[in-house]
Amino acid sequence: MKFPKNLASKLEIREQNNALRKLPIPNNLIDFSSNDYLGFSKNKTIFEETHQYLINNNSIQNGATGSRLISGNHQIYQEAEKYIAEFHQSESALIFNSGYDANVGFFSAVPQKGDLILYDELCHASIRDGIQLSNAKSYKFKHNDFEDLERLILKPTTNNQQPTTIYIVTETVFSMDGDCPNMEELIAVAEKYNCHLVVDEAHSLGIFGEHGEGLIQMLGLQDRLFARIMTFGKGLGCHGAAIVGSQELYNYLVNFARSFIYTTGLSPHSVATILVAYQHLQTEQSAIEQLRKNINHFNQQKNILGLKPMFVHSKSAIQSAIIPGNQNVKSIAIQLQEKGFDVKAILSPTVPEGQERLRFCLHSYNTKEEISEVLALLSNFVF
């Protein structure tokens, strides 16, 4: 059967724009590309403790066997959700199969017809996809621009009817820029207009806070949000996500979030890995502290080498150097890879045209020497 011409044409356009995505081949390069900020995905102790936990609980089961509402709600789910809720100082935590599922489930189910969603223009694709499935109206505000957000809150509707509920949506660390919003200022805006604030903490879990609780808890703001989405595929080095919030929100999502209801649950092994990884956040302070030292060293070195103007301001583990043009940024990424460093180019249309970039992801296991060398190489290639 022939492949449809209109689909083939889209692939051809991608190739002509030097933007065709291909799955990378595994390599042994020095890691500056993965989201495994604390090295938990390769942590032998977590691996062994997860196995022992399953043995101790007599869990000899490879799959969940069904959705959680049918047969897949095994006991480890209850233990993990209880631990996560307590860890994040929240009434409840509901585990989803992925961060994507959590965002799609939340935003397609919670905002109702007559409500309004106002989201940062750089919010993740999973948030945008969930919003598209919602019956609420939605508008984006300029990145971290709360004056623009207020303008949209006060903007009269076409029928002069005030929205029933306004949801404001942002992220604590933006995945492509690595920057953070001023959360105190944003919360002040949300409370001023009685809005419900929803924050995705995918890239701050494991990085901010004494035990990696995330930016919101580090700032002591956890009681002033409607919901937080905690994703496990980054700092925790495993898979899945949880939405933390009130018990009422938990009950609502169990009843109405379609990406939760109509999917097979995670296996006992997957949920046990989440639980053990969370427990290790309490004891792996040395890894969290080393990551922070590496972030500081990276920022110091880019200043010394005169690279600061090309980088987006960031104090997180994501550091992005703007190098416009797909061909330009790909060329420099290849040169760094040939020198042994796994640094990825982020191309348009993943980011806007002209905002193509090298995205450096920092880890607790990167050495100062590796950080200094990769930035020295970048300096040689761009100047």
CA separation for the pair 106, 301 (Å, rounded): 40
Give the CATH superfamily of 27-44+285-382.
Aspartate Aminotransferase, domain 1 (3.90.1150.10)
Q: Are 27-44+285-382 and 59-283 the same fold in CATH?
A: no
Asked if 57 and 254 touch (Cβ cutoff 8 Å), the reply is no
Asked if 373 and 344 touch (Cβ cutoff 8 Å), the reply is no
Query: What is the mean pLDDT of the segment spanning 195-213?
Result: 97
Q: Which residues contact 145 (CB under 8 A, 6 or more apart)?
A: none
Q: Which of 100, 235, 174, 144 is nearest to 357 (CA)?
A: 174
Q: In the prediction, which pLDDT does 23 show?
A: 93
Q: In the prediction, which pLDDT does 356 show?
A: 96
Q: What is the pLDDT of residues 80-112, one digit of tens each?
A: 999 999 999 999 999 999 999 999 999 999 999
Q: In the prediction, which pLDDT does 287 show?
A: 95
Q: What is the pLDDT of residues 226-265, one digit of tens each?
A: 999 999 999 999 999 999 999 999 999 999 999 999 999 9
DSSP secondary structure code for residue 311 in this structure? B
Judged against a pLDDT cut of 90, whether residue 383 lies above it is answered with no
User: Is domain 59-283 in CATH 3.40.640.10, yes or no?
Assistant: yes
Start-to-end CA span in the chain (Å): 51
Per-residue confidence at 161, pLDDT binned at 50, 70, 90? confident
Asked if 127 and 106 touch (Cβ cutoff 8 Å), the reply is no
Q: In the prediction, which pLDDT does 158 show?
A: 61
Return mean pLDDT, the chain: 96
Asked if 202 and 175 touch (Cβ cutoff 8 Å), the reply is yes
Per-residue confidence at 4, pLDDT binned at 50, 70, 90? very high
CA separation for the pair 8, 1 (Å, rounded): 13
Q: In the prediction, which pLDDT does 13 show?
A: 94
Judged against a pLDDT cut of 90, whether residue 318 lies above it is answered with yes
Judged against a pLDDT cut of 80, whether residue 160 lies above it is answered with no
Q: In the prediction, which pLDDT does 35 show?
A: 97
Segments in the chain forming alpha helices (H): 5-16, 44-56, 75-87, 99-109, 125-132, 146-154, 183-192, 215-218, 247-256, 258-261, 268-283, 285-304, 326-338, 368-382
Q: What is the pLDDT of residues 8-53, one digit of tens each?
A: 999 999 999 888 999 988 899 999 999 999 999 999 999 999 999 9
Q: State how far Cα 261 lies from the chain centre.
A: 22
Judged against a pLDDT cut of 80, whether residue 288 lies above it is answered with yes
Query: What is the mean pLDDT of the segment spanning 53-75?
Result: 95
Q: Would you list the domain boundaries of the chain? A: 27-44+285-382, 59-283
Q: What is the pLDDT of residues 302-316, one digit of tens each?
A: 999 999 999 999 999
pTM (two decimals): 0.94
Judged against a pLDDT cut of 90, whether residue 358 lies above it is answered with yes
Q: In the prediction, which pLDDT does 74 show?
A: 95
